[in-house]
């Protein structure tokens, strides 16, 4: 059984509930992702996955939703 891992991303451009839903929907579609928590005010997206978080895939999903990962 693989361990669960968590990664936190700072995301620019999110300003409303629709933004949260878009990011959540796209990132949830990444293979292995088991949870997505979006902090709109803090501009943070916390991703939980079985095994290592696929950083490139999560960043691509956030980009696909129309937002920019900082850092």
Please report, for the domain that includes residue 28, its CATH number: 3.30.70.100
Domains of the chain: total: 1
The predicted pLDDT at position 1 comes to 52
Averaged pLDDT, 38-58: 96
The predicted pLDDT at position 3 comes to 87
CB contact set of 6 (below 8 Å; sequence gap of 6+): 46, 47, 48, 49, 53
Structural domain range at position 52: 4-70
Confidence of residue 2 (pLDDT cuts 50, 70, 90): low
Confidence of residue 71 (pLDDT cuts 50, 70, 90): confident
Reported pTM:
0.92
């Amino acid at each position: 059984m693989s361990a669960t891992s968590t990664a936190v991303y700072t995301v620019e451009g999110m300003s409303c509930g629709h933004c949260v839903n878009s990011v959540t929907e796209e990132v949830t579609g990444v293979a292995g992702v088991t949870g997505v928590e979006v902090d709109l005010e803090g501009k943070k997206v916390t991703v939980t996955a079985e095994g290592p978080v696929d950083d490139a895939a999560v960043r691509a999903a956030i980009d696909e939703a129309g937002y920019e990962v900082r850092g």
